[in-house]
Amino acid sequence: MNTLEVVNLKIWDSSTNKMIIPNSSFHVKQGSCLAIVGESGSGKSVTCRAIMRLNKGGIRQTGDILFKGENLTELPEKEMRKKRGKNLCMILQNGMRAFNPSCVVGVHLKGTLVEHFGWSHDEITAKMKNAMESVMLKNPIEVMNKYPHQLSGGMLQRVMIALAIVLEPDIIIADEPTTALDTISQFEVVEQFIQLRARMGCSMIFISHDLGVVKKIADEVLVMKDGKIVERGTTQAIFSKAQHEHTRYLVSTKLALNHHFRRIMGGVIVAER
């Protein structure tokens, strides 16, 4: 069974009539992780914002987006808002942009959970405290009382993952969630995503240009170039026997970086992880 099906998605800029996504179709199986990879400007993020219906006003789209058989493109905006967070949860690249800078983090968390569940302040605090501790955030009450700029990028990503744990969505869309983080934080956040999937059994779309992360987390990979899907397959197939020239280029670049790292580190195997 597929949690999500995208059928004949077309996206364009209405002010310039420039076609961004000419025609895209793919699906996400229940409980699986689909990685969407490609270079900057390949159409990864705009595709996933289209699923959430969160592209800017000048960006237009047509096609069908079926979530558990229900066509999201036909829903009024009020109904779509109910789906966002509770059923489809998006974790952004830059954690700072996900929170109102003028409010402490807890205000955002409370507003989201009240909107979807109507819980009391005490219920929200207790559930968020447990979830934040489970993603290794120390002093969660203190964290909730801080402004976004007072927290690191890695901490903000963990807060968003903790919120996803409480929301229990059917599908999580993670848009380059490790790009703005240092290497250690990247590793820790990826581990949290892996544990999140194992705990919740949810489906996931993981957008990234980092093939090392993709190899670690994804079941299937979809490769994009210039707004088009040029290849798709299991993670193993993409890394071992890629068919498209662009996919082979991406994989070979990753391998070249690994080998260079191993040389300068004296053959450390960690580069292959």
What's residue 260's pLDDT?
44
What's residue 129's pLDDT?
96
Mapped onto helix, strand or coil, the DSSP state of residue 121 is: helix
- Higher pLDDT among residues 260 and 10, named by residue: 10
For 74-119, what is each residue's pLDDT tens digit? Answer: 999 999 999 999 999 999 877 777 888 999 999 999 999 999 999 9
Task: Indicate left, alpha or beta for 182 from its phi (over 0: left) and psi (-120 to 50: alpha).
Answer: beta
What's residue 190's pLDDT?
87
Does residue 264 have a pLDDT over 70?
Answer: no
Tell me which amino acid residue 219 is.
D
What's residue 62's pLDDT?
97
For 231-250, what is each residue's pLDDT tens digit? Answer: 999 999 999 999 999 999 88
- Higher pLDDT among residues 228 and 176, named by residue: 228
For 168-225, what is each residue's pLDDT tens digit? Answer: 999 999 998 887 777 778 888 888 888 888 888 899 999 988 888 899 999 999 999 9
Mapped onto helix, strand or coil, the DSSP state of residue 39 is: coil
What's residue 9's pLDDT?
98
Measuring CA to CA, how many Å separate 249 from each of 38, 186, 211, 224? 11, 24, 12, 13
Tell me which amino acid residue 138 is.
K
- Higher pLDDT among residues 252 and 71, named by residue: 71
Q: What is the mean pLDDT of residues 5-16?
A: 97
**Domains, the chain, ranges and CATH?**
2-272 (3.40.50.300)
Measuring CA to CA, how many Å separate 232 from each of 18, 28, 36, 49? 25, 12, 9, 20
What's residue 267's pLDDT?
55
Picking from 154, 136, 151, 175, the residue whose alpha carbon sits closest to that of residue 48 is 175
For 28-42, what is each residue's pLDDT tens digit? Answer: 999 999 999 998 889
Picking from 231, 227, 228, 229, the residue whose alpha carbon sits closest to that of residue 20 is 227
CB 70 within 8 A of CB 81: no
DSSP letters of 169-231?
A: -SEEEEESTTTTS-HHHHHHHHHHHHHHHHHH--EEEEEES-HHHHHHH-SEEEEEETTEEEE
pTM: predicted TM-score of the whole model, two decimal places: 0.87
What's residue 185's pLDDT?
80
Measuring CA to CA, how many Å separate 242 from each of 6, 92, 95, 251? 23, 29, 33, 8
Among 1-10, 19-28, 187-196, 224-233, name the one with the lowest average pLDDT: 187-196
Burial 27-41 (b: 16+ CB within 10 A, else e): bbeeebbbbbbbeee
What's residue 80's pLDDT?
96
261 band by pLDDT with thresholds 50, 70 and 90: very low
Does residue 271 have a pLDDT over 50?
Answer: no
The radius of gyration of the chain's CA atoms, rounded to the nearest angstrom, is 19
133: Cα within 13 Å, side-chain hemisphere? 8
Virtual CA dihedral for 198, 24, 94, 38, nearest 10 degrees? Answer: 90
Encoded tokens for 68: 């558990």
CB 93 within 8 A of CB 40: no
What's residue 258's pLDDT?
52
